[in-house]
Structure 1
Amino acid sequence: MLLPLHVMNSLRSPLIRQQTFYLKQILESLLVTIVLAISVNAQPNPSGIIRGIVTTIDGAPAQGIAVSLRNTSKGTIANANGSFEFRNMPAGVYIVEFSLIGYETSTAGAVITEDNPTADLAVRLDFSSRKLDEVIITSGGNRFARKESDDVSKMPISNMENPQVYTVVSKELMKEQIVTDYNSAFKNVPGAGIAEIRNQGRTTSISRGFATPQLVRNGVGSFTYSSVDPANLERIEVIKGPSATLFGSTLSSFGGLFNRVTKKPFDAFKGEVSFSAGSWDLNRLTLDINTPLNEDKSALVRVNTAMHSERSFQDAGFARNFLIAPSFSYAVNDRLTLLLDVEFSGYKATSPMRVTPSARGTARSVTELGLPYKLSFANNTINYSGQQYNIYGQIKYKLSPQWTSQTIVSRTRSSADGNVVGLTILTDSTLRQTVTNQDYPYYGTNFQQNFIGDFRLGPLRNRIVAGIDVYTLRATRNDAMVNMPALNLKKPGNAYNNFNLAKVSPLFATPAFTNFVSFNERTYSAYASDVLNVTDRLLLMASLRIDRYSNLGTYFPSADSTAGAFRQTALSPKFGIVYQIVKDEISLFGNYMNGFSNVSGSDFFGNTFKPNQANQFEGGIKLDYSFVTATFSYYDISVTNVTRDDPDHVNFSIQDGTQVSKGFEAELIANPAPGLNIVAGFTYNDSKYTKSNENIQGYRPTTAGPPRMANLWVSYRLVKGAAKGLGAGFGGIYGSESFQTNTKTFTFTIPSYTVLDASVFYDKPRYRIGLKADNLTNEKYWSYRLAAQNPLRVTGSITFKF
């Protein structure tokens, strides 16, 4: 007879648990003795394999777990995938032990015979990934190397099985570096460069020579028109290469995409509150609280909040924002799980500096221009306000042991209203300020239905995702622009003080505000992707997407007219191959990936344009071996169907342009000694227009960033002794010379940069204290929009954990 759950729980006394443990040991030892006695005269088979995957109770890979074979000297550590393997095992019965400091050892049995020489294990441990993180942080391990993701391929395949390249920036790394703003996290992404911050705080970074905006959250569309607060980030996933096959053209660039993965509830009461203060009046308070809502822990809630304020290092400029981000999950039963994830934030700030150089002067670089580094040419009264909400709902239903249904709805509103400022260089000595007053809200919806399978057809294992995707985006715009009188850019004098809201506001009485619908688009897609295990080491991937794009055009209410409406259909294939030289440790991979971008208009003869197409071929090697996780790859991206000026028909375009972007990428995450962790990356990118307008043909695109970039972070913490948890970090970023303008008639360069950072910290189970110095050498460097970057900045942080 089965007892009720509350009665069973009451019987679980320490004495009973101890007796059960001893009984389990006796039975396991008896089983080993019997099987060894039966097989004592058998010839050993030295070719057997014991392998498996270890996960936590919430399904995360249990990286860093010690795995050993009882009564032998064999032992290993589960890698970033939670995988382990023992080779050359004679036939017999083995007890596999799984241990982690501070927890009881778990065991599993494995049997190897001549008929079945491979034993596959799937072990789930009785603690959460959050608890595993805490143990790894205090005991060492390659704690920045956990790359496993359900979003990258929309199915559960490991990094070593995936023919695509991606980088993960974890919350642990962001904590160690005291990341208080979203853009600082990208210092850890090979090839991302200095963020291009647009008027309302939204961010664009570089991926493989292409400007890539922030449009993806938890694997689906979430258009963000204002800044992103990092307080609710579990990790940032940077997926490299054209990724339209699984994510569509509206969310990914030809270089890839950035996926923000938010924090989710887990099955224990935990929390932390953190305060950071630093240079330029930085004050930041964050709170993270997680708790089960009922006794059986089927209902969980987690809330993250942040309040942030700081001013610019320049004479004017500020940012103030808040974030509230609750997340709820409910396991209805062992098959059905519901998740609701919400973010709401408000933002008030001055717009970031953006400078447009002039070909009429003699200056050909930002250093030659001599714009004073600490002058903003702005005013704090001229600012804007932003607001955004992101609502993410997910229903997961286990249809069978092999199939899962995943239904996702994402809704977003992101807006900015107020005044933004731009600077235009007129001559070597003068500039003009331009102010745009606007109200600009975006409304986005993404519905996605996926069916995810893991099954066998004969001896072949198939992991497949098939889905449909509907994405809509609409934006209305009401704005006007005014120009201010020219002033001396090096010695502005009293004219500098005449730029304020009281002087600027009356100027908007003259120009008419333009009211129009600037974005109104719909995308309807279906896709499928299959990863086939030909053998346990050879994997093939084949994927295809069909995409129907409908742009309803720009609508002008004053004339009741619409311009630029069009529709296009595109196919996007993707293929990959992986061969694991050493199972789960060394993989050779290659891929063909496709991306596309919808194009409006037609040529002189009335032929409508087709989507731009990007085709990538890539090959490389991945390592997850011992203390090293690394990826080395070479890629070649060819872009076709690019429009260019029609040489025979003025004011018309033809669609035969081409562009190429190719290069090498390397990423290394290592733990060569207990407590020592290294994150490093290097990229080389060669981009150019191969067939285009004469003025840019053969030239590097300005949005491609520096051809060479590198990043490094090395940290060491004591893992033993009275000072355990005390550590320090050092690293930096490098970028070679790049271009703000690069044409046959005018070139304007941005110099190379080397920025060095350092930190010290003391991390204990109940608290954490940290001190970080960014830009130790006061390096002067600029973004693509010629925004001066921060000089030396010192930030201190204290965190209490409960």
Structure 2
Amino acid sequence: MTHFLRKNHPPSLSLIFFIFVLTLCLNTGFASAETPTGSIKGIVKTSDNEPIGLATLLIKETNQRTMTSVNGRFNFKKVKPGTYTLVASFVGSTTKSQQITVTENAETVADFILEDDSKNLQEVSVKGHKTNKFLKKETEDVARLPLKNLENPQVYSVVTSELMKEQVVTSYVDGFKNIPGTGVPLVYNNGRTTLLSRGFTTGNFIRNSVAGYNFNAIDPADIEKIEAIKGPTGTLFNSSLASFGGLFNRVTKQPFGTPHTEIAYQTGSFDLNRLTADVNTPLNHDKTLLFRVNAALHNEHSFQDAGYNRSFFVAPSITYIVNDRLSVDVDAEIGNGSATSAYRLAPDPKAKIYNIKDLGIDYKRSFANNNLDYQSRQIDIYALVNYKISDNWKSQTMFNKTFSTTKGFVTAFTISDTAIRRQATKEDYPYYITNVQQNFIGDFKIGRFRNRIVTGFEYYNQKSNNTNVSVNMPLINYKNPGAAYNNFTPEKVSALIAAQAPIPGNYVQNNQSSYAAYVSDVFNITDRLNAMASIRIDRFENKGAYTPADGKTTGNFNQTAWSPKFGLVYQLVKDKVSLFGNYMNGFNNVTATSFDNTPFKPQYANQWEGGVKVDVWDHKLSSTVSYYDISVTNTTMDDPAHPGFSTQAGTQLSKGIEAELIANPFAGFNIVGGFAYNNSKITSAAPGTGIQGLRPGASGPARLANLWASYRITNGKVEGLGFGVGGNYGSSSYQTNTATFKFTIPSYTTVDATAFYDQPKYRIGVKFDNLTNEKYWSFRLAPQNPTRFTLNLTLKM
């Protein structure tokens, strides 16, 4: 497949546009002006009598489709007289149909009431969220319980597929622009990404609430939503996959009962060619067997003089509703691609330049070569079995098996006042992940008190076989490199590797497992006051790093850790305003190496948090504001007395304020905004490290803000025409921050804009990222994209 991606050119824009126009014409047809017609109009509402915007209406016999406006109304014009079956559907709701008769020059009225679909376990409630289309806070993923946002003492953000579609997101991490406090993404050598959460670097290792460890880039084609769950989450989630700031859970698209297909093509700056498909269909008449597949073909070059990413991705999923008690979901993510290594630059502490802007390094030089690349593969299998034991209890069994690997060359650069040193690593790095969870979820009363409880156990195993050899190229002048600039090639690197004496550490096997049991209960003291209490016990077994060359194993140890969690919520105004507070604990098993090979204790983080959640004006305004205080003990750091080793002698404090707003002030106008202030510092450190009292460089900017506002015309001849504008801000930060050396990354402000025309059968959109052509960098000093243009064409069938 990689060979195919390299040798075959992607389809041209003209060809795609021709197919787009031809398909549109074939679907639209040519109706004679003289043919007598009638019309169909109506409104679609929830069982609570609230209008449903963006519901789909289908005339079965003619395959004509339309969608409701934000007030739930629809209208079919120029329908030939006759008897038809009209079908109304909306994701998260039951599908309804009725027979109607259209007569000449008359208006037929057909109204629908759609009820919540109990099959859709990802939505606790869909009422009211039809107009505020970017609001999908109701989820079972955060607490593993049917708990509404206003009842939950934990803070979380949700980025919907609708928002990512409006912003023409072609890269998974671009969706994080809408989450308060995530900052500029860190892209690692193999495409793996991390972002910030409350001042801690946080990976993307969780998929559908279980391990989805992907060492490579994540394609957004099958993402239904991104959930950013804030704070130490050690009670219900595996600590190996989360940070003390929280975790990111990517929720994938699942099959539903109405046939629907979307084919989309994106093109634009940096030779972008991206073709995606989303095909959903029931496989039987009773709609008990549902199938959906998402696929993407992606080809893009860097804005720099070298660098590319080519990939193929497919994600099939199937749901089997065995009966009213049992359902089974099985899906997979399969990816294959090739790319050049992400840009990574480290400053020399002995240099006399302390700001990336002062270096004078060429923003568009990659200092690399397209032939110095790597290949990636990914296979992720996921299964979910839901069984209703009784009216009050259900069983939830989850299984995940992941294989993720990279093979080839990755690069890194070190820079001084005048010279740059280029390093290359030839690696073969496969990861093998197995994760099994069994949950029992109850919702019952003891006397007059309601209890919602989840109890379960989890097994997690992670293996890797790492083969790597690193070499350094000669120094070159980074301002005037000359012919030596082109010497960074596979041939030159391979020659240096062949001349290097092998060492046992060139091939290392790692194997670690954890076994966990947990219980969490939400107890309703009154209908407005509820308390949460949770606890988890983990047994961590690390078999260490084994080097077959010398038969040695290092770093092997076993640990047991406890993690409690408590929370209180009081609703000042029932279902509208709540005050909340929580104490949360998380831990990390430390696998670093000490000088005397003594195992380290687990790192612990304790969070105290309080705030307010608001959901008012029929869900038109949703907001969360909170203050948190996270203290970390048993922090590890470089051992100044023994270079190359670590010591456990520190504590860290991270506290701050987070605010989020999702609003729909009037029909068609939507706002998503956020602000995060984080004060993080090392409160205790080993003598000689020079970091006590200072903000860690990896904590990122102290202040981050995001805003997106869009308007879509909801009535009239240009209904579906829309515009959006927004941006992101980050204050200055440090790449390195010690008493002896500080290297600063300047503040940044970026502005994005879009325009689109969204119709039931097609969508056309354009997007400009970084309109002001701001130069800004990640923590790894990777220059970010300049102004970027993207055109999107989508067919809906």
- TM-score, normalised with respect to structure 2: 0.84
Q: Is the 8 A contact 2:411 2:425 kept in 1?
A: yes
Taking the aligned partners of 1:132 and 1:531, their CA distance within structure 2 comes to 16
- Alignment partner for residue 438 of structure 1, among 422, 427, 442? 427
- After the TM superposition, which residues 408-447 of structure 1 pair with which residues of structure 2 at under 5 Å, given as runs? 408-425=398-415, 427-447=416-436
- After the TM superposition, which residues 185-334 of structure 1 pair with which residues of structure 2 at under 5 Å, given as runs? 185-334=175-324
Task: Identify the residue that residue 75 of structure 1 maps to in structure 2.
Answer: none
Task: Identify the residue that residue 175 of structure 1 maps to in structure 2.
Answer: 165
Task: Identify the residue that residue 563 of structure 1 maps to in structure 2.
Answer: 554
Matched, 1:104 2:121: no
Taking the aligned partners of 1:681 and 1:251, their CA distance within structure 2 comes to 25
- Alignment partner for residue 407 of structure 1, among 397, 401, 404? 397
1:287-346 deviation per Cα after TM superposition (whole angstroms, max 9, x unaligned):
000000001000000000000001000000000011110000001111010110101001
- Alignment partner for residue 330 of structure 2, among 318, 335, 340? 340
Q: Is the 8 A contact 1:233 1:260 kept in 2?
A: yes
Taking the aligned partners of 1:318 and 1:544, their CA distance within structure 2 comes to 46
Task: Identify the residue that residue 545 of structure 1 maps to in structure 2.
Answer: 536
- Alignment partner for residue 516 of structure 1, among 507, 510, 514? 507
Task: Identify the residue that residue 743 of structure 2 maps to in structure 1.
Answer: 748
The CA deviation at 1:649 is: 9.6
Q: Is the 8 A contact 2:649 2:686 kept in 1?
A: no
Taking the aligned partners of 1:692 and 1:664, their CA distance within structure 2 comes to 25
- After the TM superposition, which residues 265-664 of structure 1 pair with which residues of structure 2 at under 5 Å, given as runs? 265-425=255-415, 427-511=416-500, 512=502, 514-600=505-591, 608-626=599-617, 627-643=620-636, 655-664=648-657
1:546 maps to amino acid: I
Change over 3 Å in CA distance of 1:518–1:632 after alignment to 2: farther
Change over 3 Å in CA distance of 1:124–1:740 after alignment to 2: closer
Taking the aligned partners of 2:51 and 2:324, their CA distance within structure 1 comes to 20
Taking the aligned partners of 2:436 and 2:52, their CA distance within structure 1 comes to 30
Taking the aligned partners of 2:496 and 2:675, their CA distance within structure 1 comes to 49
Taking the aligned partners of 2:222 and 2:732, their CA distance within structure 1 comes to 34
1:440-464 deviation per Cα after TM superposition (whole angstroms, max 9, x unaligned):
0000000000000100001001111
Taking the aligned partners of 2:647 and 2:127, their CA distance within structure 1 comes to 60
2:411 maps to amino acid: V
Give the 3-state SS of the residue equivalent to 1:353 in structure 2. Answer: coil
Taking the aligned partners of 1:374 and 1:55, their CA distance within structure 2 comes to 48
Q: Is the 8 A contact 1:682 1:709 kept in 2?
A: yes
Taking the aligned partners of 1:654 and 1:294, their CA distance within structure 2 comes to 61
Change over 3 Å in CA distance of 1:102–1:757 after alignment to 2: farther
Taking the aligned partners of 1:520 and 1:190, their CA distance within structure 2 comes to 35
Give the 3-state SS of the residue equivalent to 1:661 in structure 2. Answer: strand
2:461 maps to amino acid: T
Q: Which runs of 5+ in 1 are unaligned?
A: 1-49, 68-79, 83-100, 108-122
Give the 3-state SS of the residue equivalent to 1:599 in structure 2. Answer: coil
Q: Greater Rg, structure 1 or structure 2?
A: 1
The CA deviation at 1:130 is: 13
Matched, 1:782 2:777: yes
Q: Is the 8 A contact 1:474 1:517 kept in 2?
A: no
The CA deviation at 1:505 is: 2.2
- TM-score, normalised with respect to structure 1: 0.83
Q: Which runs of 5+ in 2 are unaligned?
A: 1-46, 56-67, 74-90, 94-107
Q: Is the 8 A contact 2:210 2:435 kept in 1?
A: yes
The CA deviation at 1:133 is: 13
Task: Identify the residue that residue 800 of structure 1 maps to in structure 2.
Answer: 795
Change over 3 Å in CA distance of 1:774–1:648 after alignment to 2: closer
Q: Is the 8 A contact 1:194 1:783 kept in 2?
A: yes
Q: Is the 8 A contact 1:54 1:124 kept in 2?
A: no
Give the 3-state SS of the residue equivalent to 2:714 in structure 1. Answer: coil
Q: Is the 8 A contact 1:432 1:487 kept in 2?
A: yes
The CA deviation at 1:517 is: 3.4
Taking the aligned partners of 1:133 and 1:527, their CA distance within structure 2 comes to 26
- Alignment partner for residue 663 of structure 2, among 655, 659, 670? 670
Task: Identify the residue that residue 712 of structure 1 maps to in structure 2.
Answer: 707
The CA deviation at 1:643 is: 3.8
The CA deviation at 1:188 is: 0.5
1:621 maps to amino acid: V
Change over 3 Å in CA distance of 1:232–1:104 after alignment to 2: same
- After the TM superposition, which residues 156-175 of structure 1 pair with which residues of structure 2 at under 5 Å, given as runs? 156-175=146-165
Q: Is the 8 A contact 2:51 2:72 kept in 1?
A: no
The CA deviation at 1:510 is: 1.6
The CA deviation at 1:183 is: 1.2
Q: Is the 8 A contact 1:761 1:769 kept in 2?
A: yes
Q: Is the 8 A contact 1:632 1:667 kept in 2?
A: yes
2:450 maps to amino acid: R
The CA deviation at 1:560 is: 1.3
Task: Identify the residue that residue 687 of structure 1 maps to in structure 2.
Answer: 680
Q: Is the 8 A contact 2:124 2:146 kept in 1?
A: no
1:764-793 deviation per Cα after TM superposition (whole angstroms, max 9, x unaligned):
111100000000010000000000100000
Taking the aligned partners of 2:466 and 2:203, their CA distance within structure 1 comes to 20
Taking the aligned partners of 1:102 and 1:144, their CA distance within structure 2 comes to 30
The CA deviation at 1:131 is: 14
The CA deviation at 1:81 is: 12
Change over 3 Å in CA distance of 1:745–1:329 after alignment to 2: same
Q: Is the 8 A contact 1:55 1:124 kept in 2?
A: no
The CA deviation at 1:503 is: 2.5
The CA deviation at 1:551 is: 0.4
Q: Is the 8 A contact 1:621 1:633 kept in 2?
A: yes
* Structure 1 range deviating more: 756-765 or 651-660: 651-660
Taking the aligned partners of 1:130 and 1:761, their CA distance within structure 2 comes to 29
The CA deviation at 1:561 is: 1.6
1:639 maps to amino acid: V
Give the 3-state SS of the residue equivalent to 2:414 in structure 1. Answer: strand
Backbone CA RMSD of aligned residues: 3.1
1:569-596 deviation per Cα after TM superposition (whole angstroms, max 9, x unaligned):
0000001111111111111000001010
Give the 3-state SS of the residue equivalent to 2:357 in structure 1. Answer: helix
Q: Is the 8 A contact 2:92 2:117 kept in 1?
A: no
1:62-113 deviation per Cα after TM superposition (whole angstroms, max 9, x unaligned):
998989xxxxxxxxxxxx999xxxxxxxxxxxxxxxxxx9962549xxxxxx
